[in-house]
Amino acid sequence: MARVLAFTNNKGGTGKSTLCVHAAQLTAQRGYRVLLIDLTSQATASSLYLEEAGSLPPEETVWASLHPQYRRPLEEVIYCTDKGVDVAPSHSTMAEVAAQLAAAGDSGQDLLQHQLAPLLPDYDFVFLDTPGELNALTANALRAARRVLIPTRLNRVDFSCTEVTLRYVESLKGELSQVRAILTMLDDRYLPGGIWSGSHTGQLYVQAQQIFADVLSPVTIPDSSDLRTAFDYGLTVMDYRPGSVVCQRLEQFVEHEVLL
């Protein structure tokens, strides 16, 4: 039976899709059966795995599976890829689906969970990349997920958004034992013992430890030009620069927060 993980935050630009994509591929490289479901309008994860993702009509994407008026079986919009990860791509009009789910009330709250149920025996892990806001699509993902991973950057705005996200997750799931906040795009020199640890940003790391306490992951993801360049080429960093520092840290993240 698959373990379902949702990557979420009430804010864009935190590295959510980047972390989700890399975690999915690293998990697949370990021999696990992996499904990635893209729920975002930007379709970052979809585009990385499927060249044709941007040209797919909505009826051939997860849009059709989660639109209350269509409810196409999810298995019919899953695509196999050469990276070992199956993908249910999103569409640029996912906001319409979010609005329709919200309008459907209680009947729209668990549609993703119902669509996923028959597929869970076919996979070991399901990764959900959610929108950068707390809408009905995000709520569906959180209800379906066993584990919730919240990427956040080291600044007060992101901290505030992450706190809002944590409260929202707790309101849906009742507790936070399977929730982790992960600091992303962080220069290691700001960490304790680093040469910039005494700076303002370094002190923000100390504040993050205090604010998020047990929810904060011990693994941080460094800022990396390799990640950005890899995405420009339509690659993951494992394909572009295997063995790099950021690649090693992503592997640690998977070991600590995905495969546990």
Q: Which domains does the chain have, with CATH numbers?
A: 3-258 (3.40.50.300)
Mean of per-residue pLDDT scores for the chain? 96
Tell me the C-alpha distance between 46 and 20, whole Å.
11
pLDDT tops 90 at residue 161? yes
pLDDT for residue 52: 87
**pLDDT (average), residues 85-113:** 95
Q: How does pLDDT run across 236-248, given as a tens digit for each residue?
A: 999 999 999 999 9
Q: How does pLDDT run across 8-53, given as a tens digit for each residue?
A: 999 999 999 999 999 999 999 999 999 999 999 999 999 999 988 8
Residues in the chain: 260
Nearest to 188 by CA among 178, 200, 197: 197
Tell me the C-alpha distance between 18 and 13, whole Å.
10
Q: Which residues of 8-46 are buried (b: 16+ CB within 10 A; e: fewer)?
A: bbbbeebbbbbbbbbbbbbbbbeebbbbbbbbbbbbbbb
CA atoms within 13 A on the CB side of 152: 30
Q: How confident is the model at residue 127 (pLDDT cuts 50, 70, 90)?
A: very high
pLDDT for residue 51: 87
Six token digits for residue 175? 């507790």
Q: How confident is the model at residue 160 (pLDDT cuts 50, 70, 90)?
A: very high
pLDDT tops 90 at residue 260? no
pLDDT tops 90 at residue 107? no
Six token digits for residue 253? 């993240």
Six token digits for residue 120? 């869970």
Torsion of CA 153, 231, 6, 163, to 10 degrees: 10
Q: How confident is the model at residue 101 (pLDDT cuts 50, 70, 90)?
A: very high
pLDDT tops 90 at residue 188? yes
pTM over 0.75: yes
What 3-state DSSP class applies to 86?
strand
pLDDT above 70 covers a percentage of the chain that reads 100
pLDDT tops 90 at residue 94? yes
